[in-house]
Amino acid sequence: MTSLSVRQEAVELPVGGLTLRGMLHRPAAPGRYPAVVFYHGFTGQKAEKNFLFVRFSRLLASLGFVCARFDFSGSGESDGDFTAMTLSGEVAEAKGILGYTAGLPFVDPGRVFLLGLSMGGAIASIVAGDEPEKVKGLVLWAPAGTMPELIKAMVTPERSAELEEDGRLDLGGLCLGRSFLADLAGWDIYGRAVGFPGPVLIVHGDADQTVPIAASHRYKEIYGPRAVLHVLPGADHTFNRTAWAEEVFSVTRDFLLAQVALPGGGGREMKTTATASPFSVRRATMDDLAAIEEIYNEAGIATTASFELAPRSVEEAQAWFDAHGPAYPIFVAVRDGRVIGWASLSPYSPMAAYRYTVEDSVYVHSGFRRHGVGHALLAAVVEAAAALGYRAVVAKIVAGNEASLALHRKAGFVPVGKLVGVGYKFDRWLDVDLLELFLPAGADSPPAG
């Protein structure tokens, strides 16, 4: 992927009688580009921990995005006192920053994204819910949608006494004022966020001790199939390992590129990480069956990824395809007219009580793995399952297939069990890991039909 020359410039923005100070990163060549507005977290600033925002802004600018990152008032280099900071005040400032960015002469106002970390993620979700017509897409990194509960738990009786006596709480050198706590008590963050109808990417570490991952599962629940939850196993709140940060950058970059590349038709177009040539995801037709079988034989029959022992005959393959009607769709990923991967939904069991549960399959040609193809295919079948009214998607993955396990975990699937020694292939017994993804309606209410 070709990198563009980038300009970086300091800017100032008056909002509410205070001056906010920020940084713009943008391609040097003239034009109107998509933009990403960054919102930092509680006690953070526009660079963020380990310069996450700086590094990712520079990466995006080299790919053709304008990036704007500002310090909220009372933080970093902006005017104001942190003690006077409130969530309401930062939401107002965030809307001002969004309006400023969309109005820049080199920004396409129809393609502006919001990206927020921690409390900045909560703010981004609120702004998108309040002003959805101004936001193309939303990225939430470890979003603190549960901020009222988190702060309430932090204010112990001893800290309450400190607040009563001093009028503020000392948070390791930054002082939180009474106004923040009073303002926060009236907020329903998820209720304000739910109005955003566009695409959402949520990224969260499952070892986050600052904002537990349950906050992101709640966001996934309210956004439903229009959101993707990408889980980083073992990662903390601000992704404090190089591998974690690089994964966050990679999945977010791919999400943003996919949104700016979406065509007007029914396909989903994405840029691969290895080439500027895009691939699209669409419903499969019978004309795709030979390519589907070729990939299945390479990725499934020749490995333990599938428990089939021999290739299907032409008649068996056609029968399999015919059985996947509208209720059990098959999708293919296509690049330059060539099928490079496929995914499908199948009945979990023929027994009638299982009719609201499906099983997914995802196979990618060996030459196109690790380029986001599997992620896009899995997202397509999950979205289809939700639209068709299914309640859960089950994945059965042979133990040791770490790539498939990671793919499903990143999509929000959770491990629910293991079948021991149930398969025998290549002269050895094989275990199967069971993972499950509950769709928006969940398992606690009766089906609609």
20-77: per-residue pLDDT in tens? 999 999 999 988 999 999 999 999 999 999 999 999 999 999 999 999 999 999 999 9
CA–CA gap between residue 303 and residue 253 (Å, rounded): 31
Average pLDDT of the residues in 147-171: 82
| pLDDT above 80: residue 418 | yes
Q: What is the DSSP letter of 312?
A: P
**Which CATH number characterizes residue 295's domain?**
3.40.630.30
Q: Name the band, by pLDDT with cuts 50, 70 and 90, for residue 302.
A: confident
39 and 175 fall within a common domain: yes
179 and 54 fall within a common domain: yes
The predicted structure's pLDDT at residue 273? 36
Is 447 domain-assigned? Answer: no
Indicate the residue among 261, 280, 307 that finishes a domain.
261
Indicate the residue among 214, 245, 261 that finishes a domain.
261
Q: Name the band, by pLDDT with cuts 50, 70 and 90, for residue 169.
A: confident
For residue range 362-413, list pLDDT tens digits in order.
Answer: 999 877 877 789 999 999 999 999 889 899 999 999 988 888 999 999 888 9
With a pLDDT cut of 70, the percent of the chain lying above it is 93
| pLDDT above 90: residue 151 | no
Element (H, E) at 135: none
| pLDDT above 60: residue 272 | no
The predicted structure's pLDDT at residue 448? 58
The predicted structure's pLDDT at residue 343? 97
Q: Which residues pair with 228 in a beta bridge?
A: 201
DSSP, collapsed to helix, strand or coil, labels residue 370 as coil
Residue the block writes with tokens 């526009």: 46
Indicate the residue among 213, 233, 261 that finishes a domain.
261
Mean pLDDT in the chain? 89
With a pLDDT cut of 90, the percent of the chain lying above it is 67
How many separate domains does the chain show? 2
335 and 208 fall within a common domain: no
For residue range 228-245, list pLDDT tens digits in order.
Answer: 899 999 999 999 999 999
**Which CATH number characterizes residue 178's domain?**
3.40.50.1820
Give this prediction's pTM: 0.61
The predicted structure's pLDDT at residue 443? 55
The predicted structure's pLDDT at residue 447? 63
The predicted structure's pLDDT at residue 366? 77
70 and 91 fall within a common domain: yes
Q: What is the DSSP letter of 389?
A: T
Contact indicator for 436, 414 with CB cutoff of 8 Å:
yes
The predicted structure's pLDDT at residue 24? 98
The predicted structure's pLDDT at residue 330? 96
236 and 101 fall within a common domain: yes
Any idea which of 98-112, 269-283, 346-360 has the lowest mean pLDDT? Answer: 269-283
227 and 202 fall within a common domain: yes
The predicted structure's pLDDT at residue 262? 40
> Environment class of residue 212 by beta-carbon count within 10 Å: exposed (0-12), middle (13-18) or buried (19+)?
middle
Nearest to 50 by CA among 335, 325, 244, 267: 244
The predicted structure's pLDDT at residue 271? 39
Q: Where are the beta strands (DSSP E) in 223-337?
A: 227-232, 268-271, 278-283, 330-335
Residue ranges making up the domain that contains 426 = 268-438
Q: Name the band, by pLDDT with cuts 50, 70 and 90, for residue 257.
A: confident
Q: Name the band, by pLDDT with cuts 50, 70 and 90, for residue 258.
A: confident
Any idea which of 83-87, 212-216, 324-328, 425-429 has the lowest mean pLDDT? Answer: 425-429
